[in-house]
Amino acid sequence: EAGVAQSPRYKIIEKRQSVAFWCNPISGHATLYWYQQILGQGPKLLIQFQNNGVVDDSQLPKDRFSAERLKGVDSTLKIQPAKLEDSAVYLCASSLDTGTSKQYFGPGTRLTVT
Amino acid sequence: DAKTTQPPSMDCAEGRAANLPCNHSTISGNEYVYWYRQIHSQGPQYIIHGLKNNETNEMASLIITEDRKSSTLILPHATLRDTAVYYCIVRVTGNQFYFGTGTSLTVIP
């Protein structure tokens, strides 16, 4: 079974530039999550999708972050404009549904903002 | 609000059991405890989960206290490949995970 795919694996940008991350969840998984993991901390949930609808985006900084999951499969997370404090690993995860099912994580995208 | 507290670091001798504690004193009756681990530069990997009964699988055992305010993850025979950050997580309604800062486990040869 293929796992959660993410790209790119690494990205370096200057502050005020924009960046986008892509995630392809495990086939058949209805729920998709984006997390931000700052160095030395645990992952923090940014947004959760159920199919192509948003379940929770309460911790997403909406003035600069946006995410979409068109067609209920792949998802993109965008930051525009980036700030220095956005430097982190961005993890994508998926699960079968929002019931008692475990989340499967991708390898993450490491973003460095200079 | 992380909902869990864990010691920041622990050491364990190779071949011995590693016992990783976690406090989750504010857990609600229908909230599960999950354990994941994260090896450097990889995404978190599922280990085990439980509600109120003790659980065991091929990777580990999970012991949950009767009042459910704490739990212990047991790796029965730690190997060098078990060196990682271990996260104790409370899963709330909607399958949302609240990660704490985790325990960095170092297995010593």
DSSP of chain A, one letter per residue? ----EEE-SEEEE-TT--EEEEEE--TT--EEEEEEE-TTS--EEEEEEETTEEEE-TTS-TTTEEEE-GGGS-EEEEESS--GGG-EEEEEEEESSSSS---EE---EEEEE-
> Is residue B93 over pLDDT 90?
no
Confidence band for B30, pLDDT divided at 50, 70 and 90: confident
What is the distance between the terminal CA atoms of chain A, rounded to a whole angstrom? Answer: 37
- Asked if B95's CB is within 8 angstroms of A98's CB, the reply is yes
Residues of B with CB under 8 A from a CB of A: 2, 32, 34, 36, 41-46, 49, 87, 91, 94-102
How confident is the model over B47-76, as pLDDT tens digits?
Answer: 999 999 899 999 999 999 999 999 999 999
Please compute the mean of the pLDDT values over residues B20-33 and round it to a whole number. Answer: 91
Backbone angles phi, psi at B80, to 5 degrees: -60, -30
* Identity of the residue in B42, B49, B99 whose CB atom sits nearest the CB atom of A43: B99
Segment A27-33 shows an average pLDDT of 93
Q: What distance in Å separates residue A19's CA from the closest CA in chain B?
A: 20
Contact yes or no for A19/A36 (Cβ under 8 A): no
The owner of tokens 């060196």 is B83
* Higher pLDDT pick, A51 / A19: A19
CB contacts of A100 in chain B (<8 Å) are 32, 91, 95
Q: What is the mean pLDDT of chain B?
A: 93
> Is B55 exposed, middle or buried, given 0-12, 13-18 or 19+ CB atoms closer than 10 A?
middle
Q: Cis omega (within 30 of 0) on the bond before B8?
A: no
Per-residue pLDDT band for A1 (boundaries 50, 70, 90) equals low
Region B22-45: mean pLDDT is: 92
How confident is the model over B76-89, as a mean pLDDT? 96
* Identity of the amino acid at A6: Q
With CB atoms and an 8 Å threshold, state whether A42 touches B46.
Answer: no
pLDDT the model gives residue B45: 96
Nearest to B85, CA basis, from B30, B40, B38, B19: B38
Mean local confidence (pLDDT), A66-90: 96
Residue B66: count of CB within 10 angstroms of its CB: 6
Query: From the list B49, B87, B101, which residue is nearest A102 (CB)?
Result: B49
Whether residue B99 is predicted with pLDDT greater than 70 in this model: the reply is yes
Q: In the structure, what pLDDT confidence band is assigned to residue A70 with cuts at 50, 70 and 90?
A: confident
Q: What is the pLDDT of residue A72?
A: 85
Cβ pair A91:B44 closer than 8 A:
yes
Nearest CA to CA, how far is A52 from chain B (Å)? 15
Share of chain B above pLDDT 70, in %: 98
Strand order in the sheet with A65-68: A5-7, A19-24, A75-79, A65-68
- Does B43 contact A95 at a Cβ distance shorter than 8 Å? no
Mean pLDDT, rounded, of chain A:
94
| Alpha carbons within 13 A on the beta-carbon side of B94 | 14
